[in-house]
Chains A and B, each alone.
Chain A
Amino acid sequence: MRISTEWQFRQMERAIGRGTERLSLWQRRTATGRRVEQPSDDPVGTVHALALRQQVAQIEQYGRNIREAKLFLQATEQAFADIGEVLSQVRQIVTQGANDTLTAEAREALIQQVRQLKQRLHQLGNQRPDGERYLFSGQNLHTAPFDIVGGAMVYNGDGNPLLVPIAPDRNLPMNFSGARIADLYNKLTEIENHLLSADSFTLSNTDLRDIEQFQSEFQRYRGEVGVRLRELQDYETLYASRKDQLLGNLADIEEIDLAEAISQLRQSELSYQAALQVFSRVHSLNLFDFLRGG
């Protein structure tokens, strides 16, 4: 085929142009580490990558929600532990108080202890670990759950659950109703009265049994807190590995294989050099250069 001079040059120009283009593509990819810079680089991959990014974002949010719920539940667990401590002290007092031979001073000391424990219970019930939210108010978050009206404790909360989204189909209640704390407080008032009236019979029968029931009830609450914390922990572990997996998939789509990129970069450098060499060789090849001016 006849090759015109113009065509010869144009082809070499194009070869060099393509070489530069390819070289700069792999330089950029190696430098940024990104394979997909715009949707058209890999339309299917892009859609997949957007979905993966959404899942990662959602998992990260669930992670934050879980940490939040954990803090609240850990504070609740501490509160139940403290209430348990109050209960075991009350149980001792009831056992000691159900003794007809008790001296008046000893009895008075027990009454003082009960009053202190009532105060402690009130404090525990109305605590705000983060300085904002009451543990036991239910959804009436900003209202102190316990008031003393005429010596009796009333519960102002609504006892409704604070639901935390931790999975697409799971909203975990992170709080406990405070209604039973009020009952407990009023039970302590009864015990105080029975100590005052030295009613050893009621103390040793009804009161002791009631306190033991409260003890096992609050024990159960603590157990329930533990169950919820374990659930949170399980999700946290699940999300950590799921996130690694998703980020791995995302990297497969969006990022280059560095080894491949570097070898591509080397190759494009070589072919670019070759194109330049061919140009410098060919442009000196011309019949005019071989003809002596005659």
Chain B
Amino acid sequence: MSSFMGIELGIRALRAFQIGLETTGHNVANVNTPGYTRRRVRFANTPEFALSPQLRLGTGVMAQSIQRLRDMMLEQRVNTNAGDLARWSALSESLSAIEGLFNEPGEQGINAKLNALFNAFEELATRPDSLAARQQVLQAARSLTETLRTLHRNLTTLESQIQSQAVGTIEQANQLAQQLARLNEQIRAAHSSGAEAGDLLDQRDRLIGQLSELIGARAHYNNDGSVMLFVDGHTLVQDGAAFPLPTTIDLANRALDSTPTDIRIQSGQLRGLMDSLAQLQGYRADLNTFASTLITQVNAIHSTGYGLDGNTGYLFFSGTDASNIDLHPDVSDPMRIAASAVAGAPGNNGIALALANLRNAPQASLGGQSLTQFYRALVGRLGNDAQVSRNRAETQQLTVEHLHHLRESVSGVSLDEEAANLVRFQRSYQAAAKMVSTFDSLLQDLLQFVAPR
């Protein structure tokens, strides 16, 4: 037994508590760092010293390791759910934007404009010879066609925005995948040298989280701390290599075109954007069906009637769908609007009445619904889709918040706790220092006792 053993024990304790203090400092400093996982020093007693088989002496403490407190099962659940949240949020945002374009219910929407046109036809039926009534018909029709074209154009603009957002999402995911691949190498190198690379692992988990949100990627953790990342059957990251996703979208299958098999996207923002595109295209197709039925039906009736000029065969609308519906040049002169079913009878309103009756007439091309019913159903469907996706996003938000709470309760820094640790390590350090000085004075006493001789 060395005479300095007590001092050495004290110094070991001082060193261990210093590490404790520094770890606390690291935790406190990172209290606001997103994705930071709190660290904890694991202390262990150093091996005993046997004075005799019956007498074994303790030799103090050492900081055995710095633990990173993270529950990997929970981590996976957070990521899966965050991916679903990103999906529903993206869809909900798009649908809310589409809703805004429709302007319903209100005076500027298609419902109001369509009814204004039918009202104008009825007014014309009441006064088939009136120039004012004819101008009103043209004005109502012009306003309706403009609204239809504007809506179509805005939907198409939004479509290309979502499209480029989707491609941007894929490109961003590919970039992050490369970072993750590089990180894998660093983590592996650190691991082989025996160090726990806490900050690298934090960075790794942040990247996996982002990739889950973007494309719904799933991670497989290796023992050395590196990860493999999958999307559907596609390996996105393995060891130090990233295999980027293709950017060609197969919307019908919600997949990315790839050989040998397409990559299905099940979750994440990308899936939400794909769903948005499919929904948008559905609404636009309905809008086009509506517009083309309007064009065909009005023209079929109008062309059989007679204008005030006594001529027949005039068309009312030009165009084929919502993108290009317009007033036909035939009716650029209001006198040529065919209100009469009989040549030379300006008081006859047969055609105007038939046009007004289109308001509620069932149409085979609209599945037996009238024009107004079909449009209302379209708006109702859009509203319902938007509401459902918003509710899904809100519910998912609660789930994710709950999981975040669980994760934070394991991994988050609590300043109260750190303050308590600070006090604990400080007092322990003070006590260890006191111990060193006590052993020191014992030694001095011994030396004084011995020296004068």
Contacts and interface: CB of A to CB of B under 8 A. Distances in A.
Interface stretch (A44-52, A188-196, A232-240): A44-52
A4 B349 contact: no
Contacts of A1: 409
Contact of A163 (B125, B130, B423): B125
A50 B95 CA distance: 19
A57 B112 CA distance: 8
A7 B105 contact: no
Interface residues of A, number: 55
B272 interface: no
B32 interface: yes
Contacts of A288: 415, 419
A231 to B, nearest CB: 15
B364 to A, nearest CB: 21
Given A43-B380, A50-B376, A61-B119, A140 B347 contact: yes
Nearest to A4: B412
B139 interface: no
Contacts of A246: none
Interface stretch (A131-139, A205-213, A218-226): A131-139
Contacts of B413: 4-6
Contacts of A49: 105
Given A46-B105, A46-B383, A140-B347, A2 B126 contact: no
A57 B119 contact: yes
Nearest to B36: A6
Given A50-B104, A164-B125, A44 B380 contact: yes
Contacts of B347: 133, 137-141, 160, 162, 175
B360 A168 contact: yes
A57 B387 CA distance: 28
A69 B126 contact: yes
Interface of A: 1-7, 14, 36, 38-44, 46-47, 49-51, 53-54, 57-58, 60-62, 64-65, 68-69, 132-133, 137-142, 158, 160, 162-165, 168, 171, 175, 254, 286-288, 291, 294
Contacts of B150: none
A50 B379 contact: yes
Contacts of B375: 50
Interface in B364-407: 372, 375-377, 379-387, 390, 401, 404-405
Q: Would you list the 4 A-B pairs with minimal beta carbon distance, nearest first?
A: A4-B412, A39-B383, A43-B383, A40-B386
B405 A58 contact: no
Contacts of B123: 61, 64-65
Given A2-B410, A54-B115, A160-B345, A38 B383 contact: yes
B31 interface: yes
B348 interface: yes
A171 B119 contact: no
A15 to B, nearest CB: 12
Interface of B: 31-32, 38, 95-96, 99-100, 102, 104-105, 111-112, 115-116, 118-119, 122-123, 125-130, 340, 342, 344-349, 353, 356, 359-360, 372, 375-377, 379-387, 390, 401, 404-405, 408-417, 419-420, 422-423, 426
B126 A164 contact: yes
B403 to A, nearest CB: 12
A4 B409 contact: yes
B47 to A, nearest CB: 33
A47 B376 CA distance: 6
A46 B419 contact: no
Nearest to A57: B115
Nearest to B100: A38
Contacts of B95: 40
Nearest to B111: A50
Contacts of A139: 340, 342, 345-348
Contacts of A158: 345
Contacts of A138: 347
28 contacts: A1-B409, A4-B411, A5-B413, A5-B414, A6-B408, A6-B412, A38-B386, A40-B96, A40-B99, A40-B385, A43-B387, A46-B383, A50-B379, A51-B376, A53-B105, A53-B115, A58-B118, A65-B123, A138-B347, A139-B340, A139-B347, A140-B344, A160-B347, A163-B125, A165-B122, A165-B125, A287-B416, A294-B426
A286 B95 CA distance: 44
Query: Per DSSP, are chain B's interface residues mostly helix, strand or loop, or mixed?
Result: helix
Given A38-B100, A39-B383, A53-B115, A5 B415 contact: yes
B386 A287 contact: no
A46 B103 CA distance: 12
A44 B414 CA distance: 48
Nearest to B430: A294
Contacts of A53: 105, 111-112, 115
Contacts of A160: 345, 347-348
A4 B126 contact: no
Given A4-B408, A43-B383, A46-B380, 7 more contacts: A43-B386, A53-B111, A54-B372, A57-B116, A137-B347, A140-B346, A162-B349
A14 B99 CA distance: 27
A236 B32 CA distance: 71
Contacts of A141: 128-129, 345-347
B105 A254 contact: yes
Nearest to B415: A5
Contacts of A294: 426
B151 to A, nearest CB: 14
Nearest to A46: B383
Contacts of A61: 118-119, 122-123
Contact of B96 (A38, A60, A132): A38
Q: Which of A42, A47, A286: most chain B Cβ within 10 A?
A: A47
B105 A171 contact: no
A131 to B, nearest CB: 12
Contacts of B99: 38-40
Nearest to B34: A6
B129 A60 contact: no
Contacts of B340: 139
Nearest to B102: A39
A6 B102 contact: no
Contacts of A175: 347
Nearest to A5: B415
A130 to B, nearest CB: 10
A163 B65 CA distance: 97
Contacts of B38: 4
B380 A39 contact: yes
